[in-house]
Amino acid sequence: MQWQRIQTLILFIIGLLLVAFLAQPVRSISTSPNMIVALQPTQPPGNIKIKRAKDSDYKPAFLGAMLAGADNILLAQDAIAEIMCQNLDSWRPSGGREYQVSAGCGGGSSSGIKPIEVDTIDPRAINDPNIPYLISPRDTILQPSASGLVLRWNPVSEAKNYNVSLIGPGVDWSQETTVTQLTYRDTDALKPGSRYWLIVRTDGGQSSRNEGLFGFTVLTSKLAAEVATGKTKIEQKQLSPEANALALARFYQGYDLNQEAITVLEAAIAQNTKSAAIYRFLGDSYKYVGLNRLAVERYRQGITLAQTTGDIESEEAMENNLKITSDIIRN
């Protein structure tokens, strides 16, 4: 009996300790993506640095770097940085200190920047130049535009004519053409939330279906409202053109608006961007939808720029993805 009472007392004490432990406030560390959107380093360069949770050393920070909550950022005394958190709020850590990113970007949001998985790719997407493989829209969600939907595909050297078909709920449209781009005007026929497929055939019998069946989904009105709100919030930050392009593209791809992300980044490159992160993310975006030949082109350009600017992290990431995409094309 005495031993039973002792056991009961021990269990009671353990229970009290457990309750006390669980009652302690716990700060969650966000794993959501947060983006560096502004840097003003002191001299010499590199006085703003980041350390990944998996790394032991700091590396120089660059515009467009994505930060997890467990990563650290270190600022020299007079350095200024701005980080756009996953929920699209801004965080401006003071200079002269080290921070864990979760200290300034601790909260998440279902309508902010979302994690993106770019390592899952279609090994069939060799983009054979002898078939009219699809360029756009390709594996994306789209916001219907009153100006129409631009359809693009790869030009086949032997082809003189192309038959273009768009099929899906309420749509069974086709047209013959000699060019490699058409505009589908009847966007009111596209139903929100529905999936549509684009198929292109040459007069020689080659078909885009030889690479797979690709298409797009029309954005629902609910998500369209979320996207419009998020876009406005980003644009109100009055970021630099490069940072604005990166932020919008990341935001768009979180909603699988892959084509809109690509359009924004291509526009930034057309303006002679000096940011390797833009080439890196554009290459990733092309890789994500299976346009590996375009991804290879942007990765190669981005690697050269990263070597010039010293953006080692972007350079290493692009070299790795360049190997993956090049291997797919060769195979």
Residue 42 CB-density burial (10 A; 0-12 exposed, 13-18 middle, 19+ buried): middle
* CATH superfamily for domain 134-218: Immunoglobulins (2.60.40.10)
pLDDT bracket for residue 128 (50, 70, 90):
very high
Burial of 180 (0-12, 13-18, 19+ CB in 10 A): middle
Residue-level pLDDT at 29: 33
- 122 — pLDDT class (breaks 50, 70, 90): low
Evaluate whether 134-218 and 221-330 have a shared fold: no
What mean pLDDT do residues 245-262 have? 95
Q: DSSP string of 213-238?
A: --EEEEPPHHHHHHHHHHHHHHHTT-
- pLDDT band at residue 215 under the 50/70/90 scheme: very high
Domain extents for the chain?
Answer: 34-103, 134-218, 221-330
Helix H segments across the chain? Answer: 2-22, 221-235, 241-254, 258-270, 276-288, 292-309, 312-330
d(CA 105, CA 98): 14
Return the pLDDT at 119.
52
Residues 147, 180: Cα–Cα separation, whole Å: 19
Burial of 275 (0-12, 13-18, 19+ CB in 10 A): buried
Rounded-to-integer distance, Cα 331 and Cα 326, Å? 9
Mean pLDDT of 148-167: 96
Residue of 224, 255, 236 whose CA lies nearest to 109 = 255
Distance (Å, whole) CA 147 – CA 186: 9
Q: Which residue has the tokens 């380093």?
A: 41
Q: Would you state the pLDDT for residue 147?
A: 87
What is the rounded average pLDDT for all residues in the chain? 87
Fold of the domain built from segment(s) 221-330: 1.25.40
pLDDT(18) > 50:
no
The two structure tokens encoding residue 256? 């699988």
Lowest pLDDT segment from 10-24, 110-124, 137-151, 212-226: 10-24
